[in-house]
């Protein structure tokens, strides 16, 4: 198993370097569980699927607290056949691989209901790509059913689904979508954009 | 056939609204071939696969010419089974669907060799997702073979490939990857980030 994300933070401010550097401190509590590498386009975080979204949430909330209009983009992946097995990425929790889609929808909904609240409103849109399977749309439609009952659903868009709400439940919803849809052993990718403090929020 | 992209432009500047609004004028020559809709997270452009990347190139170069550090992200998709047939999206050129992978690599390379030059250096990273097929990695490895000989290849990263070069060949390479890998009738998605004027380019 190999899992991780290429994450970028975009503060729409002349002081973007300072906003990024101060937000990175918010990753400190997660560093023991992650491998982190940065270049000029993104920061790679490698670690268990369950840890990726809470770590990205804390990074993003750290940047959004500055009040600057800021956006995060991440390309998240698990189970790519081209990547090696990495012990750091082994799931933290027990894996329930053979659950039917309806049971996974219910589990994901329960998890989001107990997400922490950060008093930081965010908008997000994301696409889920269950790869290497003939029936990939079944998993996507199951995920959309979960999203519509997550409490964060705003609307369906072409190629993605839009969420809005507090950072806690929104990142919780994204994490549940990534870990519960596309079976455990599959190659699954997720492409997400999160925004806060936009002057054009509608 | 349905094809399009959700596109976002992120100028790292206090004057981000002005940079975005002036760059949007660069889409004018393409408007007759596209349907365009905007909300607070992204701009949707719907149109033929071959037109999406030249249109995004002109939008991005328009923003990069300001000298501001600016990033573009796009979620690009074609053939999604959940979308309707859309006459606006029908391919402009003849479709060569049954070509072997090696022939498609050669065609893509030839197309990039004749790309226009904009005198604007950009860095990019992207992931290609050929969906709904058991052998999705074959198409990905074929695409990587093309990328390595495109003239824009910088390096492989986890979950994506990084390109660097002039905006013309880089967007040309992205467009060829999108149209030539994953067969014509397949559901293919592509997740791309392009950056210019970064103070930390390395």
Tell me, letter by letter, the H, E, C secondary structure of chain B. CCEEEEEEEEECCCCHHHHHHHHHHHHHHHHHHCEEEECCCCEEEECCHHHHHHHHHHHHHHHHCCCCCEEEEEEEEECCCCCCCCHHHCCCCCCCCCCCHHHHHHHHHHHHHCCCCCCCEEEEEEEEEEECCCCHHHHHHHHHHHHHCCCCEEEEECCEEEEEEEHHHHHHHHHHHHHHCCCCCCEEEEEEEEEECCCCCC
Scanning chain A, the segments in alpha helix (DSSP H) are 16-24, 49-64, 101-113, 136-148, 167-180
- Angstrom distance (rounded) from CA A89 to CA A85: 8
pLDDT at B10 over 90: yes
Contacts of B142 in chain A (CB under 8 A): none
Mutate to test the interface with A, among B4, B7, B34, B41 (most CBs of A within 10 A): B41
C-alpha distances in Å from residue A138, one per residue of A102, A130, A135, A147, B14: 11, 10, 6, 14, 43
| Of the candidate ranges A44-53, A60-69, A88-97, B110-119, the one whose mean pLDDT is the lowest | A88-97
User: What mean pLDDT value characterizes chain B?
Assistant: 92
For residue A18, the chain B residue with the least C-alpha distance is B12
Shortest alpha-carbon distance between residue B44 and chain A (Å): 8
Of B13, B71, B129, Cβ closest to residue A129: B129
Closest by CA to B21, choosing from B55, B53, B66, is: B66
CA distance A76 to A192: 8
Q: Which of B154, B146, B149, B104 is nearest to B125 (CA)?
A: B154
Instruction: Determine the residue of chain B that is closest to A163 in CA distance.
Output: B41
Scan for tokens 């991440």, then name that residue. A74
Q: At which residue do the structure tokens 């401190």 appear?
A: A25
**Chain B residues 79-98 within an 8 A CB cutoff of chain A:** 80-83
pLDDT tens for B34-64 read: 999 999 999 999 999 999 999 999 999 999 9
Residue B97 has pLDDT above 70, yes or no: no
Q: State the smallest CA–CA distance between residue B14 and chain A in angstroms.
A: 4
Q: What is the number of alpha carbons within 13 Å of residue A176 lying toward its C-beta? A: 29
CA pair distance B37, B46, nearest whole angstrom: 9
- pLDDT for residue A163 is more than 70: yes
Does the CB of A136 have a partner CB in chain B at under 8 Å? yes
Tell me, yes or no, if B119 comes closer than 8 A to chain A by beta carbon: no
Residues 147-166 of B with CB under 8 A from A: 157-160, 162
For residues A65 and A188, what is the distance between their CA atoms, to the nearest angstrom? Answer: 31
Return the pLDDT at A132: 76
Q: List, edge to edge, every strand of the sheet that includes A3-11.
A: A35-38, A43-46, A3-11, A70-78, A187-196, A121-131, A160-166, A153-157
Tokens, residue B125: 């990273």
Nearest beta carbon to residue A198 from set B2, B40, B133: B40
State the pLDDT confidence band at A99, using cuts at 50, 70 and 90. confident
Residues 1-20 of A with CB under 8 A from B: 2, 4-6, 8, 10-14, 16-17
Token pair in block for residue B115: 């790309």
> Rounded CA gap, B78 and B47, in Å?
10
- What is the complex's ipTM, to 2 decimals? 0.94
Location of structure tokens 């074959």: B138
Interface test with B, best of A2, A9, A12 (most B CBs within 10 A): A12
Q: Give the burial class of B113: count Cβ atoms within 10 A of its Cβ; 0-12 exposed, 13-18 middle, 19 or more buried.
A: exposed
Task: State the residue for tokens 């760059």.
Answer: B23
Give A106 to chain B, closest Cα distance, Å.
24
Confidence of residue A171 (pLDDT cuts 50, 70, 90): very high
Position B96 confidence tier, pLDDT thresholds 50, 70, 90: low
B127 reaches A (C-beta below 8 A)? yes
Residue B98 has pLDDT above 80, yes or no: no
pLDDT for res B151? 97
Q: What is the DSSP string of A12-32?
A: -STTHHHHHHHHHGGGGGGGG
Tell me how many residue pairs between chain A and chain B have CB atoms under 8 A apart: 147
CA atoms within 13 A on the CB side of B173: 32
The dihedral built from the CA positions of residue A175, A177, A182 and A183, taken in this order, carries a sign that is positive
Interchain CB distance below 8 Å, B158 and A17: no
Instruction: State the pTM of this model.
Output: 0.95
Q: Is the pLDDT of residue A202 over 60?
A: no
**pLDDT tens-place string over residues B104-126:** 999 999 999 999 999 999 999 99
CA dihedral A83, A161, B195, A28 (to 10 degrees): -60
Distance of residue A115 Cα from the nearest chain B Cα, in angstroms: 24
């Amino acid at each position: 198993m190999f899992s991780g994300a290429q994450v970028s933070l975009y503060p729409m401010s002349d002081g973007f370097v300072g906003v990024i550097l101060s937000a990175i401190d918010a990753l400190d509590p997660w560093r023991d569980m992650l491998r982190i590498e940065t270049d000029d386009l993104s920061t790679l975080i490698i670690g268990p699927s369950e840890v990726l979204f809470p770590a990205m949430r804390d990074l993003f909330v750290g940047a959004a607290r500055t009040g600057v209009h800021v956006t995060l983009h991440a390309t998240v992946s698990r189970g790519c056949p081209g990547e090696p097995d990495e012990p750091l990425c082994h799931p933290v929790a027990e894996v329930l691989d053979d659950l039917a889609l309806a049971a996974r929808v219910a589990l994901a909904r329960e998890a989001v209901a107990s997400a922490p609240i950060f008093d930081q409103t965010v908008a997000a849109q994301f696409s889920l790509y269950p790869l290497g399977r003939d029936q990939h749309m079944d998993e996507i439609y199951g995920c959309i059913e979960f999203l519509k009952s997550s409490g964060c659903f705003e609307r369906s868009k072409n190629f993605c689904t839009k969420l809005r709400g507090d950072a806690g439940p929104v990142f919780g919803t994204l994490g549940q979508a990534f870990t519960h849809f596309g079976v455990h052993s599959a190659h699954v990718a997720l492409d997400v954009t999160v925004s806060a403090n936009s002057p054009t929020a509608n």
